[in-house]
């Protein structure tokens, strides 16, 4: 197995620190220290903290894209079960850290989207990709008769994902998965019935 490069060490350490403490609360010095590399390594690989943050977002996005492919975009599973699986998979990951970290996308949106236009635009693209995956799944449910014809899949996808972000934020604050479970129960009892 190949040793991680200093760049990889910085990104991995940064992903963990930013997810746990937030982008604004994580300094370059914190990342360098956690990665165990010399201070100068950071500027050798990244032009700014913002550029670094964008790459960390990219790593997290790749993980979440994999979740979407295993759930929302998996045509071998019933569509509504895919949505349940997507929510459950995301919730299980948050449970592993005691619900302390929440969703990095939501965290970045709350603390950095007004300070960095590049981060805001990246988040817009990430959220649009998530809506497309959710909408794809909802459209499959309509085709199979699990949701009524005329169901607005695009608006429902936006509503589901925005509400899920809110539930994750509440779960992070309350340090319990209850807000996500409450959202999921309402979603399947009222919106997706």
**Residue 77 is part of which domain span?**
59-191
167/110 same-domain check: yes
Does residue 158 fall inside a structural domain?
A: yes
For the record, the structure tokens of 159 come out as: 């509503």
Does residue 52 fall inside a structural domain?
A: no
Does residue 51 fall inside a structural domain?
A: no
- Number of domain units in the chain: 2
Please enumerate, as own/partner, the contacts of 179-185 that have beta carbons within 8 Å and a separation of 24 or more: 180/87, 180/91, 180/94, 181/91, 183/87, 184/84, 184/87
Tens of each residue's pLDDT in the chain, 193 residues: 567 799 999 999 999 999 999 999 999 999 999 999 998 999 999 999 999 999 999 999 999 999 999 999 999 999 999 999 999 999 998 888 888 888 999 999 988 878 899 999 999 999 999 999 999 999 999 999 999 999 999 999 999 999 999 999 999 999 999 999 999 999 999 999 8
136/65 same-domain check: yes
65/136 same-domain check: yes
Whole-prediction pTM: 0.91
* CATH number of the domain that residue 8 is part of: 1.10.10.60
- Residue 150's region, left for phi above 0, alpha for psi from -120 to 50, else beta, is left
Handedness of CA 72, 73, 75, 76 (dihedral sign): negative
């Amino acid at each position: 197995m190949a040793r991680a490069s200093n760049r990889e060490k910085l990104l991995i350490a940064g992903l963990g620190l930013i997810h746990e403490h937030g982008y604004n609360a994580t300094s370059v010095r914190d990342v360098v220290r956690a990665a165990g590399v010399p201070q100068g390594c950071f500027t050798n690989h990244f032009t700014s903290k913002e550029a670094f943050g964008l790459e960390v977002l990219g790593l997290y996005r790749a993980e979440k894209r994999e979740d979407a492919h295993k759930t929302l975009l998996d045509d071998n599973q019933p569509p509504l079960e895919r949505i349940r699986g997507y929510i459950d998979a995301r919730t299980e990951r948050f449970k592993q850290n005691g619900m302390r970290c929440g969703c990095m996308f939501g965290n970045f949106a709350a603390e950095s989207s007004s300070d960095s236009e590049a981060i805001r635009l990246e988040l817009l693209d990430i959220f649009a990709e998530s809506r497309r995956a959710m909408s794809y799944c909802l459209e499959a449910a309509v085709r199979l008769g699990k949701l009524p014809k005329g169901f607005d899949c695009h608006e429902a996808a936006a509503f589901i994902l925005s509400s899920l972000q809110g539930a994750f934020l509440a779960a992070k604050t309350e340090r319990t998965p209850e807000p996500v479970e409450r959202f999921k129960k309402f979603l399947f009892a009222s919106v997706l019935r």
